[in-house]
Structure 1
């Protein structure tokens, strides 16, 4: 029932009071959720920044190891070693629930490999190829971890904005309108009670006068 359709009766007053209690409870819960999400956002943002710095260091190291491997084995040797890997690195997508928000949970798949899984002959290559492969596997894992954190930050930012709008709507529109409606109904009921009391008093006086005439 729209708030404007609520009648200034006892039943209408009960409806408004129930709605106010519900709106205040929802506002309290959403405010707690908003605070929790803000703390989680700060935590994720700090971790994402740290992960990004680590990612940059791993990228620099991997490039250096690839350059050393190319110098030792030649660009063709490095390319052949890379092409011999059959299992392509990827990730599995899952979700985790944080304050009712579905955050991405990325799990590396076929990233870390043993020497046998890499496909190239151990005897035909030097250890620099293995070192370069290790460096790039660590880099790929860091990329996946960074993507998970940054995806979580984006999801939280979107949910925080939606929750803030709901909190503001309750705080500055819904609850004030209900309070105003409650005051209006209480005023109307008080006015009706005063009118009824005045009417009863007038009737009592009329009855008293009639009794005196008898």
Structure 2
């Protein structure tokens, strides 16, 4: 196993605990990012459906607006110059709002009317009804345009965020978590190997001690010394003729 496939750590109990904590954090982060991605994808699909619907409405509105403009010009004549001279301030305005979806801020545009109608007297002499109808239809078309712009902006923003989130989810799922898992497996394998080596070492020590005991027993037997009084015999003086009491082992 190369260093690129796992994290370079010294195999120890502390390192194993740290890797398990990192694995738990990575799994939790993956779960949260996955939920975020699902929520953003759901909103993305809803916005896409609204964009399709709004574009269809927009096509019909612009078609009606073109027809109503032709009817108004036919009834009232060319009133565009009159409107341009009378209008000094826009009545239709757009305000910017914010919407939050799973921690992602989406820009929203809202259409509203501000100020008096500067061309309300246009077509008063003739064709006033057609001009008013044309104004209402174009007002609806402008509102649909603002709604479509808001949806398109949110669509593009969500598309970028979803791509970034999915890349992070895939990186955690296919790179980070497997790397940590391989590191944990490596540490567990090394610790098991150390335990086996320690067990083998202790076993060899016990065998050597047993062999040494057998050698000592044979040497003492050759000198006529029993196993129980070996230590006491070694401590007796040469001219000591006293008899030691028997030792009773319970």
> So what's the TM-score if we normalise by structure 1?
0.89
- CA deviation profile, 1:21-73 (whole Å, cap 9, x unmatched): 11111111111221222221111101110001001111111111111111111
| SS in structure 1 at match of 2:108 | strand
Q: State the 1:82 CA deviation.
A: 5.0
> CA contact under 8 A between 2:94 and 2:112: conserved in structure 1?
yes
| Number of residue pairs aligned between Structure 1 and Structure 2 | 209
> CA contact under 8 A between 2:7 and 2:180: conserved in structure 1?
no
Higher relative helix content: 1
CA distance in 1: counterparts of 2:155 and 2:177, whole angstroms: 31
Structure-2 residue corresponding to 1:148: 150
Structure-2 residue corresponding to 1:117: 117
> So what's the TM-score if we normalise by structure 2?
0.77
Note the residue ranges of structure 1 that are not aligned, 5 or more in a row.
none
Structure-2 residue corresponding to 1:169: 171
Q: Greater relative contact order (Cα 8 A, min sep 6): structure 1 or 2?
A: 1
Structure-1 residue corresponding to 2:225: none
Q: In structure 1, which of residues 92, 95, 99 is the aligned counterpart of residue 98 of structure 2?
A: 95
Structure-1 residue corresponding to 2:185: 183
| SS in structure 1 at match of 2:7 | helix
> CA contact under 8 A between 2:7 and 2:179: conserved in structure 1?
no
- Does residue 196 (structure 1) correspond to residue 198 (structure 2)? The answer is yes
CA distance in 1: counterparts of 2:112 and 2:48, whole angstroms: 25
> CA contact under 8 A between 2:109 and 2:147: conserved in structure 1?
yes
Q: State the 1:104 CA deviation.
A: 1.5
CA distance in 2: counterparts of 1:60 and 1:187, whole angstroms: 74
Q: State the 1:147 CA deviation.
A: 0.7
Structure-2 residue corresponding to 1:133: 135
CA distance in 1: counterparts of 2:26 and 2:87, whole angstroms: 59
CA distance in 1: counterparts of 2:10 and 2:93, whole angstroms: 62
For the pair shown, the structure with the greater C-alpha radius of gyration is 2
> CA contact under 8 A between 1:69 and 1:78: conserved in structure 2?
no
Structure-2 residue corresponding to 1:23: 26
CA distance in 1: counterparts of 2:81 and 2:140, whole angstroms: 19
CA distance in 2: counterparts of 1:200 and 1:4, whole angstroms: 32
> CA contact under 8 A between 2:39 and 2:102: conserved in structure 1?
yes
- Does residue 7 (structure 1) correspond to residue 37 (structure 2)? The answer is no
